[in-house]
């Protein structure tokens, strides 16, 4: 199945092929794939905390994806 993935610019240094995901790209994943599996496929280190929006709704890493889902990977906000 195919999903759309967009990675925020701040996180591009962690993605294997950043030029594909800054504007969004389609990614082929197996049926039943989870958000976590997509993050692993993009080569995000486990130590990097990211915020995932799936179809406009915050999502956890265990969420099972469906055909045509839109996944945005964002850096968490911080302040001081």
Which band of pLDDT confidence, cut at 50, 70 and 90, is reported for residue 79?
Answer: low
Bigger pLDDT: 17 or 55?
A: 55
Question: How many Cβ atoms from other residues are within 10 Å of residue 13's Cβ?
Answer: 8
Give, in order, the Cα–Cα distances in Å from 72 to each of 3, 15, 19.
11, 13, 15
**What pLDDT does residue 20 have?**
52
Nearest residue to 66 via CA among 41, 25, 21, 35: 35
Q: How far apart are CA 27 and CA 38, in angstroms?
A: 9
Share of residues in the chain with pLDDT > 70 (%): 85
**What pLDDT does residue 13 have?**
76
Average pLDDT over residues 12-34: 74
Give the H or E element holding residue 40. Answer: helix 35-41
Average pLDDT over residues 28-32: 91
Confidence check: pLDDT of 68 > 80: yes
Average pLDDT over residues 35-51: 86
CB 65 within 8 A of CB 52: no
């Amino acid at each position: 199945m195919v999903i759309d993935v967009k990675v925020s610019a701040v996180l591009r240094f962690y993605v294997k092929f950043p030029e594909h995901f800054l504007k969004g790209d389609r990614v082929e994943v197996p049926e039943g794939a989870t958000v976590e599996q997509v993050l692993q496929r993009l080569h995000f280190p486990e130590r990097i905390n990211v915020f995932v929006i799936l179809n406009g709704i915050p999502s956890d890493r265990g969420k099972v994806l469906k055909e045509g889902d839109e996944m945005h990977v964002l850096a968490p906000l911080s302040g001081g």
